[in-house]
Structure 1
C-alpha cells in the first residue's frame, strides 16, 4: 500500500476570496500597479481593522505602490486592489497616480526592449 500524501496545514493558507469577502473587483477602478498609496492621519485613531487591512495601513505610513503592498502582504494583485480600495473608500488611505511618462521616454524604453 502506498502512504497517504502529505496535505499542507490548511490553517496556514487563507483563500483570497475569504480575505476580500468574495469580491473580485475593487470599489475604486482606477488603481494601477504604480498607484501611490499613503495612510491618512485620521486612520490612527479609528476603529480596529482586520489583519490585512491593518498591515496595509502600517505599510502606507510612507507612500507605497499597490504592487509593493501586494508583495509585502503576500496576496495576489487583485486582492491587494480590493483591500486598498476598501481602505480608500473608508477614509483610511489616500491614493494618487504618478505623473505619466512623456512619449519620447516610452519610445526609448520600447526601443531598448526591442534591442534585447
Structure 2
C-alpha cells in the first residue's frame, strides 16, 4: 500500500492540487496557534463580508462556519488532513475572519466539570 494518499479527481475540470499547496508547505499557522481538533469555529461578520474575494478553500471554510463547525469537520469538508485544516483555520482566525471557541478544560488538560454537566444534561434531554 502506498504511503501517498490518492487525490480525489476533480469534477469541475480543474487540476488536482496537492495538500501541501493549500498551506504553501507550512505545517503551522503564521500565528503559531495549535488548536485541538474539537475546537469549534464560527464565521465573523468580517469573514462573511470578505468571503467572495477569498481563495476557494478559505471561502468554503468561512461559508461552512455560519453554524459552529469543529476543526475535524472542516478537515472532512475540504477532504484534507487535519494539519492542513488547522493551518487554514488558524490563518483565517488570525485575520479575524473566524472566531475559534476552545473546549472547556482544566489546568490538568481534563474536561472541566461544567462541560461534563452540560454534556450530561444534553444526553438526559434526549
5+ residue gaps, structure 1: 1-7, 106-116
Tell me which residue corresponds to 2:124.
none
Q: Name which structure has the greater RCO, CA cutoff 8 Å, separation 6+.
A: 1
Aligned to 2:16: 13
Q: TM-score, normalised by structure 2?
A: 0.68
> 2:28–2:34: 8 Å Cα contact kept in structure 1?
no
Partner of 2:78: 73
Going from structure 1 to structure 2, the CA distance change for 1:102 and 1:82 (only over 3 Å counts) comes to same
The ranges of structure 1 where at least 4 consecutive aligned residues each deviate by more than 4 angstroms after the TM superposition are 8-12
Matches within 5 A, 1:42-53: 42-46=46-50, 48-53=53-58
The equivalences for 1:1-116 within 5 A come to: 12-26=15-29, 27-46=31-50, 48-100=53-105, 101-102=111-112
Kindly report the root-mean-square deviation, in angstroms, between the aligned alpha carbons of the 2 structures. 2.3
Residues in 1 aligned to 2:34 and 2:21: alpha-carbon distance in whole angstroms: 23
Relative to the length of structure 1, the TM-score reads 0.73
Distance 1:62 1:39 in 2: 8
Shift of 1:25: 1.1
SS at structure 2 position matched to 1:45: helix
Q: Report the Cα offset of residue 14 of structure 1.
A: 1.3
Equivalent in the alignment of 1:111:
none
